[in-house]
Structure 1
Amino acid sequence: MLPWLLLLICGSSSLSCVPTGIPVSDVSLETRPTGGWVMEGNKLVLICSVVNATGNITYLWYRGALGSNLETKTQHSLSAEFEITEVKRRDAEQYYCAADNGYGPVLSELVSITVRVPVSRPVLTSGDSGIQAVLGDLVELHCEALRGSPPIFYQFYHENVILGNSSAPSGGGASFNLSLTAENSGNYYCEANNGQGAQRSEVVTLNIPGRQSDDPLRSPPMPVLQESSYLNSPGPEQIQSVYENVNVVRSDEIYSLVYHIQQELEPAAAQHMKTHGASEVSRVFSEIYSKPRKEDITDMDYEDTI
Structure 2
Amino acid sequence: MLLWSLLIILAPASAQADGLTLLAPSSVFEGDRIVLSCQEEKKRKIKTMTYYKDETELLSLKKFSNFPIQRANFSDSGNYHCTATVGFWSWKETSQTVNIKVQELFRRPVLTASSFQPTEGGPLTLTCETRLPPQKSGVRLQFRFFRDSQALGSGWSRSAELHIPAMRTEDSGSYRCEAETLMSRIRKWSPQSQIHVQRIPISNVSLETQVPGGQVIEGGKLDLLCSVAEGTGDITFSWHREATGPSLGKKTQRSLTAELDILAVRESDAGGYYCTADNGHEPIQSKLLNILVRIPVSSPVLTITAPRAPAMVGDMVELHCEALRGSPPIVYQFYDEDVSLGNSSAPSGGGASFNLSLTAEYSGNYSCEADNGLGAQRSEVVTLSISEADGCRGDLVIARALGGLFGVLAFTGGVVLFYYWSHKISGKSSATNTPRGVSSPNPQASTQPSPLFAMEDLQPEYVNVGSVGVDVIYSEVMGFQQPEDSANNRKPSLENKDSQVIYSSVKK
Fold equivalence (TM over 0.5): yes
The amino acid of 2:462's aligned partner reads H
Find the counterpart in structure 2 of residue 121 from structure 1: 299
Query: Which of these residues, 211, 214, 225, is aligned with residue 394 of structure 2?
Result: 214
Query: Which of these residues, 254, 277, 281, is aligned with residue 103 of structure 1?
Result: 281
CA pair 153-206 structure 1, distance change in 2 beyond 3 A: same
Counterpart-to-counterpart distance in 1, 2:265 and 2:373: 17
Structure 1 position 76 matched with structure 2 position 254: yes
Counterpart-to-counterpart distance in 2, 1:93 and 1:147: 19
Flag structure 2 segments of 5+ consecutive residues without an equivalent: 1-115, 117-123, 125-166, 175-194, 404-414, 424-447, 467-492, 498-508
Contact in 1 for aligned 2:306/2:315 (Cα 8 Å): no
CA pair 282-149 structure 1, distance change in 2 beyond 3 A: same
Contact in 2 for aligned 1:26/1:50 (Cα 8 Å): yes
Find the counterpart in structure 2 of residue 49 from structure 1: 227
Counterpart-to-counterpart distance in 2, 1:45 and 1:212: 68
Contact in 1 for aligned 2:228/2:256 (Cα 8 Å): yes
CA shift for structure 1 position 7: 2.4
Find the counterpart in structure 2 of residue 297 from structure 1: none
Structure 1 position 28 matched with structure 2 position 206: yes
Counterpart-to-counterpart distance in 2, 1:157 and 1:59: 53
Counterpart-to-counterpart distance in 1, 2:386 and 2:326: 33
Structure 1 position 93 matched with structure 2 position 271: yes
Counterpart-to-counterpart distance in 1, 2:170 and 2:238: 30
| Deviation readout 1:102-142 (Å, 9 max, x if unpaired) | 12111100111111221110011111458721211111111
CA shift for structure 1 position 148: 1.2
Query: What secondary structure does 1:54 align onto?
Result: coil
Counterpart-to-counterpart distance in 1, 2:170 and 2:371: 65
Counterpart-to-counterpart distance in 2, 1:33 and 1:130: 51
Query: What secondary structure does 1:214 align onto?
Result: helix
Return the TM-score normalized by structure 2: 0.43
Pairing of 1:203-282 with structure 2 (within 5 A): 203-210=381-388, 211-212=391-392, 214-216=394-396, 219-220=399-400, 258=460, 260-263=462-465, 282=494
CA shift for structure 1 position 261: 2.7
Indicate the structure with greater strand content. 2
CA shift for structure 1 position 48: 0.2
CA pair 217-209 structure 1, distance change in 2 beyond 3 A: closer
Counterpart-to-counterpart distance in 2, 1:130 and 1:102: 77
CA shift for structure 1 position 44: 1.0
CA pair 23-116 structure 1, distance change in 2 beyond 3 A: same
Find the counterpart in structure 2 of residue 148 from structure 1: 326
**Two-structure CA RMSD over aligned residues (Å):** 3.8
Counterpart-to-counterpart distance in 2, 1:258 and 1:247: 10
Contact in 1 for aligned 2:306/2:316 (Cα 8 Å): no
| Deviation readout 1:24-70 (Å, 9 max, x if unpaired) | 21110001213122121111111101111211111010111455411
The amino acid of 1:183's aligned partner reads E
Flag structure 1 segments of 5+ consecutive residues without an equivalent: 10-16, 224-242, 265-280, 286-306
| Deviation readout 1:158-183 (Å, 9 max, x if unpaired) | 12111111111121111100101122
CA pair 217-146 structure 1, distance change in 2 beyond 3 A: closer
The amino acid of 2:298's aligned partner reads S
Counterpart-to-counterpart distance in 1, 2:203 and 2:172: 23
Query: What secondary structure does 2:305 align onto?
Result: coil
Query: What secondary structure does 1:261 align onto?
Result: strand
Range moving further from structure 2, 146-155 or 123-132: 123-132
Find the counterpart in structure 1 of residue 379 from structure 2: 201
Find the counterpart in structure 2 of residue 171 from structure 1: 349
Query: Which of these residues, 168, 173, 183, is aligned with residue 8 of structure 1?
Result: 173
Give the structure with higher Rg (CA).
2
Return the TM-score normalized by structure 1: 0.68
Structure 1 position 136 matched with structure 2 position 314: yes
Query: What secondary structure does 1:139 align onto?
Result: strand
CA shift for structure 1 position 263: 3.2
The amino acid of 2:257's aligned partner reads S
Contact in 1 for aligned 2:172/2:196 (Cα 8 Å): no
Find the counterpart in structure 2 of residue 268 from structure 1: none
Find the counterpart in structure 1 of residue 366 from structure 2: 188
The amino acid of 1:97's aligned partner reads C
Counterpart-to-counterpart distance in 1, 2:460 and 2:196: 133
Provide the aligned length of Structure 1 versus Structure 2. 243
CA shift for structure 1 position 220: 3.9
